[in-house]
Structure formats: C-alpha cells, structure tokens
Amino acid sequence: MKIVDASDVAALRGLYAGGWDPPRAVAERVRAIIDDVRTRGDEALVEYTRRWDYDGASLAKLRIDVPSRKNARHLVPEQIASGLELARERIAEFHARQLPQPIDYHAHDLTHYAFLARPLGAIGAYVPGGSAPLPSTVLMTVVPAKVAGVERVVVTTPPQRDGHVNPAVLYACALTEVDELYAVGGAQAIAALAYGTATIAPVDKIVGPGNVYVTEAKRQVFGAVGIDGLAGPSEVLVVADARAKPDLVAGEMVAQAEHDPLARVAAVSRDRKLVERVAALLDGEFGRRSGRDAIVAHVLDARAWLVHAADDEQVLEVIERFAPEHLSLMVDDPYDWVPKIRHAGAIFVGDETPVAAGDYIAGTNHTLPTSGAARFASGLRTADYLRTMTLVENTRARMEFDAELLAALADFEGLPAHARTARMRAKAERG
C-alpha cells in the first residue's frame, strides 16, 4: 500500500472529498417512488415490497405485531440477547445524561425568560435489511427517542425473503418498546413515514441509515418532516504515534473497510516506521482476514490512505479536512489532542476502545455524520428527538422602557405595524 505525505493534497483529494451527490438516475427514481406512494399509498408499498423483498407481501402483512420482551427473547441466541440488553442499558444511561437542564429565570427588572424543551410527537426509525440484520440500529435510534419522551415510535425495516422481520431485529423492537413496526423498506418506506398512507400515519422526523435510495429519499422529503442527516459510507481515521501497535491500527482500517465498498479508511502518524509496518500488514494476509474479503480488498486498494505527517500540525490538518465519522486516537497523550479536535463524528480513545465498541455496546451512538458532514453536524443524540421554544414575559416597566427603541428599529426595517404595537404600549399612549 502506498504511503502518502500529509502535504500532498492532490494524493489526499479522495480522502477529503465530501458532500451528498447521488447519480441523477437515483434521484429521479426516488422521486418517482415518493410520488407513487403519495398517490397510491398502501397499494404502492405492497407492490414495491413484492418486487424487491418478499413476493408474498400483502396489505395484511405490512404491520408486524411487536411481541413482549419476555415472549421475544427466545427468538435469538442467549449471547445476542444479552449483548442487546447490555447495549440498551448503556445507551439509555448515556442519552439520559444528555437531557437539557431547564432554563427559567427573571431578569433584574423581573422580566421572565424560559427555554422550554418538548419531545417530538412521532418519529420513524429506518432499520436497513441488506446482507445482515442490524438490531443495533434499532437500539441506537429508538432508545434515545424513548429517553426524550417521544409518544409514538415507529420502525420500518425490509422483510426477509420469507416475509418475516429478522428475529434479532424483532427482539430489539420488543426490548425498546417500539410502538409500531412495519415490514417495508427502501425509499417507499421513507415516503410512507413522511406523507402517510391508510396504514402508516406520518411522523414528525425520520432517523436511521440506509442505502443510497433511502438516503436520497430522506433528502427529498426533508421539509415535510425532519431528518437526522444524510448517512454515507463508513469512515475511520486512526491517529497513531510510535508506541501504537501496528496490528491495532490496521485492524481498525479493515473493520471499517468491511462495511461498504465505498468506505474510506485512513491512518496518519509522524512515525514513518509505524506507517510502513501498517502498510505491510494491510498488504499481507492481515488485510484479507475479514469474512468479506472482496469488499475489504477493494477498499484497501482504492479507498485507503496511509499518511506520514511531518508534525502535529499536519496531523491536525488531516483530521480537520477529512472530518471523519470515526476518529481513533492511539497515542500516548490522547487528552492533549482532544481539545484541539473540532471535526469528528465520534472519538475513540486508546488501545482498549475499538470503534466497534461504539457500534454496539459502549452506549454512545453509532449514527454519525459522514462525507465531511462532521464539520457542521453531530451524531444522533437525545436533542434530536426534542424541539425547543423560548418564552418571554415583559413587565410593564420593561415595555415602557423599550417601546421607542423597539418602534424605531421596526420603522427602520420598514415594518410600521410592528412599530405601532410597541408604541401602543408606551407609557404616553396608555393614558
């Protein structure tokens, strides 16, 4: 594997490329699906499900009953059930600590101010199907909603070829007390969540990852509903120094490479020998140990970067320009680095914290910004399931003091009726 210099911006262009720009054909196809669901509703959902997921789909099979936790636990192996239960507990604890503290106070003149938080009324969580079930996505998207107090939590997920929802996904829905579960996937599920059908009532916000069609559908329905973001392929950047273990560095790169053929994986270090040892591992058998050899090989060949930096400033520049979804710090002094880092979806500190811990059972959220969005967006959090309102109540003294200044500003901006509402409350106008 080629090693590039941190100053070689041209060689790193692919690493730094960001934004959401799907092929025009994808956008057009998604628009047609959304329009069809808005027009034909459940009929369209059943038709698309038959075409792409389960040929026996019917209206009666769209909604799936969510079993009780007790009745669903036997559906999955003991170790999987225990892992999901531990993850749910930790996710709930971490996200409960994110709940905003109330702000309510009176200024020196007794004017009343408050900052009020309210849970969303209904959210839709999309859980992908694809090559493997993703019960962890149920936990990551639903538990924070429950912590926030969302009244109606809906999950949509593609059915398996036999028409059933994967047992682990079903248990995760039971564990998190999902209110409604629908066996429907793809852009059509996003359209149903946004605009509603006879069977699926619309929600206020849609969260969760998906393929390019799902993500483009979320982009197109934004405005009718809120969304958490536009999730792209997985990313990791490992920052390592001379004491880092090459196999751990290489391991993090391979782990993210197996997610997606469009994943981007990288490591940066000031230590040339370390970078060379990581390159040797990735070029050898180590890079082919994943069960998804073809995907990993493609990513390591076309979408992987090993970067040698001259100094800490160059390392920081790589971090900030990449703005990675996952940032792993395998350095002696990680907490000297943390205050300097502005752009990353999540930070994983030290040799004992693989990114996979955040994917599953650490308790932090694995729904993170990708494609450079960490420059302006955050990972999924409790606040995403809340909306806020401000409150102000003037005293008479405050309003009389403010009236003429308020009116002058309104007049200046060409809004005389605004100005009039201020002057009506001025002391001279009260009589």
220-255 residues labelled b (16+ CB within 10 A) or e (exposed): bbeeebbbbbbbbbbbbbbbbbeebebebbbbbbbb
Q: Which residue has the tokens 């076309």?
A: 302
CATH superfamily of the domain spanning 24-102+119-227 = Nitrogenase molybdenum iron protein domain (3.40.50.1980)
Give residue 207's identity as a one-letter amino acid code.
V
Which one of the listed residues 180, 252, 258, 325 is annotated catalytic? 325
According to the model, what pLDDT value does residue 430 have? 66
Q: Which position among 95, 259, 308, 326 bears the catalytic label? A: 326
User: So what's the pLDDT on residue 130?
Assistant: 72
Query: CB neighbours (10 Å) of residue 387?
Result: 15
Q: Cα–Cα distance between 81 and 186 in angstroms, integer?
A: 27
pTM, rounded to two decimals: 0.95
The pLDDT of residue 431 is 56
Position 230: which residue type?
L
Q: Locate the domains of the chain by residue range.
A: 3-20+232-362, 24-102+119-227, 394-430
Instruction: Report the C-alpha gap between 274 and 135 in whole angstroms.
Output: 37
What is the distance between the alpha carbons of residues 431 and 414, in angstroms, rounded to a whole number? 27
| CATH number for the segment(s) 3-20+232-362 | 3.40.50.1980
Length of the chain, in residues: 431
3-state secondary structure the chain: CCEEECCCCCCCHHHHCCCCCCCHHHHHHHHHHHHHHHHHCHHHHHHHHHHHCCCCCCHHHCEECCCCHHHHHHHCCHHHHHHHHHHHHHHHHHHHCCCCCCEEEECCCCCEEEEEEEECCEEEEECCCCCCCCHHHHHHHHHHHHHHCCCEEEEECCCCCCCCCCHHHHHHHHHCCCCEEECCCHHHHHHHHHHCCCCCCCCCEEECCCCHHHHHHHHHHECCEEECCCCCCCEEEEEECCCCCHHHHHHHHHHHHCCCCCCEEEEEECCHHHHHHHHHHHHCHHHHCCCCHHHHHHHHHHCEEEEECCCHHHHHHHHHHHCCCEEEEECCCHHHHHHHCCCCCEEEECCCCCHHHHHCCCCCCCCCCCCCHHHCCCCCCHHHHEEEEEEEECCHHHHHHHHHHHHHHHHHCCCHHHHHHHHCCCHHHHC
Collect all residues with Cβ–Cβ distance below 8 Å to 351 and sequence separation of at least 6.
244, 245, 248, 330
325 is catalytic: yes
Tally Cβ neighbours within 10 Å of residue 56: 11
Mean pLDDT by 10 residues, the chain (431 residues): 95 92 94 99 98 95 95 95 98 98 96 98 95 93 99 98 95 98 98 99 98 97 98 96 98 94 96 98 78 85 97 98 98 98 98 98 98 97 98 96 98 98 83 56
End-to-end CA distance of the chain: give it in Å, rounded: 84
Structure-block tokens of residue 191: 């359209």
Dihedral sign of CA atoms 253, 255, 256, 260 in order? positive
Distance CA 319, CA 330 (A): 14
Structure tokens at 94: 């971490």
The whole-angstrom separation of Cα 126 and Cα 215 is 10
Q: Is 326 a catalytic residue?
A: yes
